[in-house]
Structure 1
């Protein structure tokens, strides 16, 4: 058992080193991509500044006039200073990029030396766990308790993620419906003051689009309610838009009828925005619960690994 524990400690240290090197490798790659973009931008800047210098140094009628006016040398000096500043910034960026590349090479080499560290640690941990389960009943019972806790957390997280997914789709559908209704309201206002057949047609097209999104939202709401039921939760949500006499003002182009349709649009916007606010709040809560569950799972895994590793 002592040899096992010593081996686990050594392999855990190497696995921790690999985890750090993996993070640093990813960070260096990101920094190098940013550095490459910076060098591209600075190279273009230096080229522009150098071209400004070249223009002033060329023989031309404009330069002759500038020279006669007496400010050519002043402008040339200013452009040279700007070109020099751009060149220095470019040189500094190139130097920094080279340092990042050297460090990336070093980290890559170190990673190669500990590439299998995590697998070796997990393999040794599993071997010790199997021994504990077969030879230490109390330890086996404790591991089973931790496994049960982890299973429950994983099952709940799965249901939370499914509920969050349905809620996210509901939010997207309601948001799209709200946008279409806002557009319909704007075109309706234009229509009320003599917009004509085109604005009337566009308004009703936007209403049709909004109703399509409402139907989509109703579908996702049913899915969400099913998922929440699995979680033994409820949500006070209802998605619907009242019937609209959409075609009335096509044939009865009266100010009163337009006011009725416009009022129905505004009422629908209010209803949709209210439900959108509720659904958005629910989504934030579900996402927070998913993250909390993932944190608890990580904690259980760490306790489990520590229990096996320290058992003697």
Structure 2
């Protein structure tokens, strides 16, 4: 059966890739060690060169050695030590280059193999469905596992979509919270510090920003609602913060104390509601992640059962 041959090849390549990845990790660790060793040897060689230069020059070291009558012997010794350090440096560099070359070869082979796990899964799925099409006892056993696996995979995909929507809602609510904090600061300044037109305009700019984030959160939450029982904390949020366009305009242009305090209370109330909604979404998102993890574990178990049924019989 052609699908059997394709699966066997995919299994062999996936096993090779697993071995190569382990080898690549070991080579990279060895390369890191060799780099450290190279730096140490390079430092020693640099110091030896400096020792030779001091003896070969006109400084205090050279003069002292000359007065003792040992300059020639000292210079021979230092040059011998510098040559030994240079040889060690050459060897250390060669070792590093060898390891890096081996790592590059393994990396290239892995690149040629590609995504072997995905290829193996596709081959296993194709062979499993081919056996189901043939029928018989073996096909029936595989069909039962595939039915469960298809259902579990579909549930994981749906939960992934829901999870992503929940994450977007949580991010938007966090943005609304930050904007409301800034709006609250401007509102305090406007109400009690005499902010007048500038303070009112800055406050309402932040309020509008918070409103946009609330709309984004509600849009995302529409896709997340299937994971929760009561979507109220998010859907009850008001993008206009309960102020309305008329009151907003009056607050900016008239800037009277009553309007300032009314808007200030609206900002504070909405901030509390946004915090409650964000907590609600985070808790629901945590439950969704747990459910997804359980389903993914179930999918893994079912794939192992399928692969066991697909394994060649001795």
TM-score surpassing 0.5?
A: yes
Mapped contact 2:152–2:299 kept (Cα < 8 A): yes
Name the count of aligned residue pairs: 256
- Runs of 5+ in structure 1 lacking a partner? 58-90
Contact 2:10 2:123 survives alignment (8 Å): no
Q: Indicate yes or no: 2:158 matched with 1:156.
A: no
What is the CA-CA distance between 1:31 and the residue it aligns to? 9.7
How does 1:50-69 map onto structure 2 within 5 Å?
Answer: none
Shift of 1:115: 8.0
Report the counterpart of residue 281 of structure 2 in structure 1: 279
For 1:117 and 1:213, locate their aligned partners in 2 and report how far apart those are by CA, in whole Å.
42
After superposition, give the CA deviation of every residue in 1:259-285 in whole Å (9 maximum; x if it has no partner).
Answer: 221111111100001101111222232
Greater C-alpha radius of gyration: 2
Q: Scaled by the length of structure 1, what TM-score is found? A: 0.64
1:131–1:252: structure 2 CA closer, same or farther, 3 Å change rule? closer
Alpha-carbon contact 1:25-1:104 (below 8 Å) kept:
yes
Change in Cα spacing, 1:19 to 1:202, as seen in structure 2 (3 Å) is same
> Quick check: 2:128–2:142 contact (8 Å CA) kept in 1?
no
Unaligned runs of 5+ in 2: 55-88
TM-score, with normalisation over the residues of structure 2? 0.64
Q: Relative to 1, partners in 2 of residues 1:106 and 1:215: Cα closer, same or farther, differing over 3 Å?
A: closer
Find the aligned partners of 2:233 and 2:170 in 1 and give their Cα distance: 13
Alignment deviations for residues 126-151 of structure 1 (CA, whole Å, 9 cap, x no partner):
669846863x7222111001100110
Q: Residues 206, 98 of structure 1: CA spacing in aligned structure 2 closer, same or farther, 3 A cutoff?
A: same
Q: 1:135-176 CA deviation, whole Å, 9 max, x = no partner?
A: x72221110011001100111011111111221221122111
Are 1:238 and 2:233 an aligned pair?
yes
Cα distance, 1:31–1:260 mapped onto 2, change above 3 Å: farther
Equivalent residue number for residue 86 of structure 1: none
Counterpart in 2 of 1:189? 188
1:1-312 matched pairs, under 5 angstroms = 12=11, 15-22=14-21, 24-25=23-24, 98=97, 100-105=99-104, 107-108=106-107, 130=130, 134=134, 137-191=136-190, 192-225=192-225, 228=226, 234-239=229-234, 240-241=237-238, 242-244=241-243, 245-309=247-311, 311=313
Q: 1:198 to 1:149 in 2, by over 3 A?
A: same
Does the CA contact (< 8 Å) of 1:25 and 1:108 recur in 2? yes
Structure scoring higher RCO (CA < 8 A, sep ≥ 6) equals 1
Q: 1:288 to 1:31 in 2, by over 3 A?
A: farther
CA RMSD of aligned residues (A): 4.6
Which stretch has the larger CA shift, 142-151 or 121-130?
A: 121-130
Per-residue deviation at 1:290?
2.7
On the 8 A contact 1:171/1:276 being kept in 2, the answer is yes
CA distance in 2, matches of 1:121, 1:158: 17
Distance 1:120 1:165, change over 3 A: closer
Aligned-partner Cα distance in 1 for 2:27–2:249: 61
- Map Cα deviations across residues 181-206 of structure 1 (whole Å, 9 max, x no partner): 11100111121211232111100111
The answer on whether the counterparts of 1:125 and 1:308 sit within 8 Å (CA) in structure 2 is: no
Distance 1:300 1:13 in 2: 21
